[in-house]
Each structure stands twice: as structure tokens, then as C-alpha cells.
Structure 1
């Protein structure tokens, strides 16, 4: 498909049970859908980074594109429903954030191109056949967590030297998606003198019981591998705090939601780069022939508000290594 030069309107619609009438759409301009499971403040930052990237590609939202926003606001159970409503708007391209929204969109998108961002393990999650040759109708920007499992565990140990037994929490269905990271964590644990206890859950409803078992088995810290279990991360963050388990996560958005620390990819950059895929697809490229880009840059983020609220004294070595702080 060719990028339309026709004047359009910028349509921003959060589909929380309502749909946007097609009569509100100017003729000619193409529809770009943005679908995220995030809460609204994070979704706005993701969208703004995407729009910044589009402008860098010479595409003007509101002129060349009409934007349809679908923000799940952490209502993960509604992702399939919202994805279906999104498709009623007949988007030309869908940009998704995180695994949950991506998988929900792909389930109903058919041949509509899906460009994902801030996704890890797209091959293991079944989104693409391979990074070099995605096939199908999806491609995008993945985060590279190879080798980060051990580094993240080391940071957790450095921040909390008394930690001795770490609960490793993942979703049973997607264990293969984080298999490499789990092996890295287990190997690093041996070098750090830590014991790893595995806890797999079927879904969000089993998390409460899993945390009770963690405490019963003497776990005094938590590690959550990067995987679709992130759909339940708000609950995980709350349960970790409730049970007094220090944890380090893979994404800054969890720190913004109350988690103590994160060590992972620069999410905004992921969306800026996703814009390149959108531009190429709108100009005729096929997503299945576009290799997945792997983002390498990582950052350590610390939640100072949480540090103060819980009277935590982090070692100076951790504080000086931080790339940014959340107040």
C-alpha cells in the first residue's frame, strides 16, 4: 500500500466500550492503530515516542495518518474484546505494545500488518518464525535480554546482600519463551551463592497461592523473567510488596507503578524505531520480509519514592549505577 498524501484528521479514540463511527474519518488518509495494555500515562509516553518516530520518517499524524488508540489500562481480560473492536475500525497497520496486546491483535488481525514494540522473545511467543525471516504479517522491535538474566540477578544481590533464596516466577504456558533467561539466572545463582526456587503458575488467579508458597519455602527475594506473565505485573508488584520480597524487573513501567527497581530496555526508543517499520509498510513493504530489530540499550531505574516509603537503604554502588530515578 502507498502512503496517502491526502489530508486526513488525527483520530484518537480510546475504545473502552465505545467505537468511533466511520463517518468521523476523512477519506483518503490511512488508519494507524495503536494498541497497548498499559495504563494511560505509560500509553501516552509510548504513543508520543511512536509519533516522534513517524515525524522523523516524514509522516505527519493528522495529515498522512489517522490514529486510532486502544488503551486497555491494565484490564488484561479485555484484550481480546478490545482487539476485535479495534479491527472494526479497519486499520491499515497496527502498532502494539507488549506481548499481551500483540498476541491479542495477531489473533484477529488476519492479513493486517502488526508492528510490535517492547516485546521480548517474539519467536518463543509464536509471533514470528525467526528474527531474520518473520514470515506472516507481524514484525517489529524486540528487546534483547540475552545475558541480562545474570546481570539482573547480580544487581538484586548487590542491592540486598542478605538475599539467599530467590523465587523464580513464570507462567507455565510460556516457559519456553523465557527458557534462556531462566538458565542464565540459574547459572548466575550458583556463582552468587543463591538458591533458586521455581514457581510456575497457570494464570493470574494462581498468583496469590504462589506467593504464599514462596514465603512458606523461605524465599526472601523475587525474580520474574521477561515473558507474557507481564500481563499480571501490577498484581505481582503488589504481592511482592505485601510479602516483603525485594525484586528487580525488566521494564521501567513497573517502577512507575510502584516497583522498586528495573533493569531493561529503553522502551521509548523501541517505539521510535517501530515507526520505521510503519513507514516502510505504508510504502509497500511486506512485514514478513522485514527482519525483527533487536534493541540492545538497557537502563537501571530506581524508585526513590518506594525506597523512602519502605525505609530501604540501598548501597551507594547501586545508587551510582542508576541511569534514572522515579520520584
Structure 2
């Protein structure tokens, strides 16, 4: 046989063997992934979050579980899902998720929790960053969770009045407060109504602007003007959770301070926030999740409230609105961004 032909045949044979080896390894890796996700000694945990300022919640939740021995890709497997609102893609995602039979879902914010429960009612859910889980129908009370959910409230709804009082103390010259909120959120309607009474007691003008959908919300944000308002107040409904950066940026462009409900908002556009820290909520939820993973019925797991509340001030945002923070409020601040 010609030497060149022989060498060519060897090269072809080597390439064929390499290709077959590649297919065999690919099949093994794929099978291994399926086995690891469904193995008896691994727990499947789905993380559902809007991301952004809420990312520290899921990060610290995973860290808290790791400290308790639940190691990622060891005895636990995590699947991260970003909640960007309900829709066909969200329904399809959860429909596919149901077939995987996860052991636990960790959902961040009330809209994400409710969206999960509507489509996957049979799965246990640990929630975080829910303003009022009792009003939202997630639990009966804090000592008696439901058969479907338990978790860590952040008290944003209950603290709304306190945030407005602090904002008034911090910026006493500001009189006109505007809240743009999701008209589909019944709880925001209640909180906005409650804030109207608080504003009246503080001798403030209160403007409640319900928005029916994303387009109306962003149009209302684009229409913010210092000629009409003095201060923008945020409520944690679905439209605000998903679009608050656009709203806050428009407010900043109009020279209006923004009052937020979670400390992470003060790292960007908000002038002042009062509420729980995202990282704390994540760590606080880890022990609850561990109980469920070890077989305790979720109905026997009490829900919790924030262990600490933080007053955070962003002096750059305050300065951009041509304001100063009253000395009394500044002295009480837990964290100041300069």
C-alpha cells in the first residue's frame, strides 16, 4: 500500500475515533447533569428574583445555606430564574420547571411569590422581601404559616408611614409628595390611601397616581416635574419593583428627591431609604429553608420580620436635588453615601 494513502487512512481513522469519543463524553456529561439534578442525595432549589437591588437576597440565602452544609453542586443544586413580570414566557418557564420537581422555591418580592404560586400551587415556597404577607394572603399570621408558604417579611408596607415621616423630618421644606403605583396591586391602593391620611396629618399635599400597566407607569415617570411635585415616594408593587430605576432617574433629572424602601436603592438614585437590608433578609431565610429541606412541614415554620431596619442616605442624590438633610436625621443614619 502506498505510504501516503496509509498515512491518510490513519488520519481519517484517528479523526473518526476522536469524534466518536467526543459523542460518548458528551452523552456522559449530559446524563451526569440529569442524574446530579435528580439524584436522591441532592436537593433542587429554585431561586426566583427580579435581580438588581434584590440580588443580595439570593446571594446571601445561598451563603446561609452553605454555612449549614448545603453546598452548591454538592448536596444542593440551585437554579436561578429572573422574574421580569408575568406573561407567556414566564408561564412556559414555570411549566417546564414543574416537570423537574424541585424540592423548594425561594421567591423574592410579593409579585414573584404570587406569580409562582398561581402556576405551581403544590410546591413549597420560602418568600423574602414581602411587605405584608398576611395582607397578601401568603400566611395566616407570623406564628402560623400556610401549607404553601413561609418566609421573611421586610415590612415595607407597614413602614410606609414611618418613611414619609422621616422624609418630612429630613426635608421639612418639601410639601408636595407624589406616589406612582401599580393600579393592579390592591395592596398598593390600600397603602397609598393610608399615606394620604399621614400626609394630611403632616400638612403635606399628597398626589396618588395609579398606573394601569408599564406604559402608563413610564409615562407618569417621564412627566415628573419640580413645578408639580417636591418629592417622589416609592411603593414596592410590581411596576415599581421592575421599573423603579427609570422612575428614579426621571425624578433625579427633574431635581426631585426619591424616598425608597430598601437600602440598596440609596446606592443609586434614592436620596433616602428606611427599611430592611437585602443581605439580612437572605441570611434570615436560610434557616427556614433548611427546615423544609430536612422534611419539616412548611405550615409548622413561623415567618419572621426584619431583625434590623436601616436608615440610609445618599448625599450625592440629595445634593443633586439642591437639598440638605436635617442634622437630626443625618445623626440617626446607619449608612451615608457621600
TM-score (normalised: structure 1): 0.79
2:203 corresponds to 1:193: yes
Gaps of 5+ in 2: 1-31
Per residue, is there more helix in 1 or in 2?
A: 2
For 2:78, the equivalent position in structure 1 comes to: 67
For 2:43, the equivalent position in structure 1 comes to: 30
For 1:293, the equivalent position in structure 2 comes to: 304
Shift of 1:212: 6.1
Shift of 1:85: 4.7
In 1: Cα distance, 2:137 partner to 2:217 partner: 24
SS in structure 2 at match of 1:294 = coil
Kindly tell me: are residues 216 and 162 of structure 1, through their superposed partners in 2, closer, same or farther at Cα, counting changes over 3 Å? closer
In 1: Cα distance, 2:222 partner to 2:39 partner: 56
Shift of 1:152: 1.0
Q: How many residues align?
A: 304
For 1:51, the equivalent position in structure 2 comes to: 62
Between stretches 105-114 and 253-262, larger displacement belongs to 253-262
Between stretches 230-239 and 214-223, larger displacement belongs to 214-223
In 2: Cα distance, 1:172 partner to 1:99 partner: 15
- Deviation string 1:265-285 (CA, Å, 9 cap, x unpaired) is 122222112112211111222
2:220 corresponds to 1:210: yes
Show the 5 A alignment for 1:96-111. 96-111=107-122
Between stretches 116-125 and 313-322, larger displacement belongs to 313-322
Kindly tell me: are residues 237 and 146 of structure 1, through their superposed partners in 2, closer, same or farther at Cα, counting changes over 3 Å? closer
SS in structure 2 at match of 1:187 = helix
- Contact residue 86 and residue 115 of structure 2 kept, 8 A: no
- Contact residue 115 and residue 138 of structure 1 kept, 8 A: yes
In 2: Cα distance, 1:283 partner to 1:159 partner: 47
Between stretches 210-219 and 264-273, larger displacement belongs to 210-219
- Deviation string 1:228-268 (CA, Å, 9 cap, x unpaired) is 34233223222322333222110123223432221111222
- Find 1:221's aligned residue among 231, 235, 259: 231
For 1:267, the equivalent position in structure 2 comes to: 278
In 1: Cα distance, 2:316 partner to 2:100 partner: 41
- Contact residue 221 and residue 246 of structure 2 kept, 8 A: no
For 1:258, the equivalent position in structure 2 comes to: 269
SS in structure 2 at match of 1:173 = coil
In 1: Cα distance, 2:161 partner to 2:85 partner: 31
Between stretches 198-207 and 96-105, larger displacement belongs to 96-105
Kindly tell me: are residues 228 and 133 of structure 1, through their superposed partners in 2, closer, same or farther at Cα, counting changes over 3 Å? farther
SS in structure 2 at match of 1:237 = helix
Shift of 1:146: 6.1
RMSD: 3.0
Kindly tell me: are residues 110 and 226 of structure 1, through their superposed partners in 2, closer, same or farther at Cα, counting changes over 3 Å? closer
Kindly tell me: are residues 235 and 75 of structure 1, through their superposed partners in 2, closer, same or farther at Cα, counting changes over 3 Å? farther
In 1: Cα distance, 2:48 partner to 2:110 partner: 11
SS in structure 2 at match of 1:121 = coil
Between stretches 214-223 and 74-83, larger displacement belongs to 74-83
2:180 corresponds to 1:165: no
In 1: Cα distance, 2:332 partner to 2:70 partner: 38
Kindly tell me: are residues 127 and 233 of structure 1, through their superposed partners in 2, closer, same or farther at Cα, counting changes over 3 Å? farther
For 1:120, the equivalent position in structure 2 comes to: 131
For 2:13, the equivalent position in structure 1 comes to: none
Kindly tell me: are residues 173 and 296 of structure 1, through their superposed partners in 2, closer, same or farther at Cα, counting changes over 3 Å? farther
For 1:6, the equivalent position in structure 2 comes to: none
- Deviation string 1:6-32 (CA, Å, 9 cap, x unpaired) is xxxxxxxxxxxxxx9635637231111
For 2:12, the equivalent position in structure 1 comes to: none
SS in structure 1 at match of 2:185 = helix
Structure index of larger Rg: 2
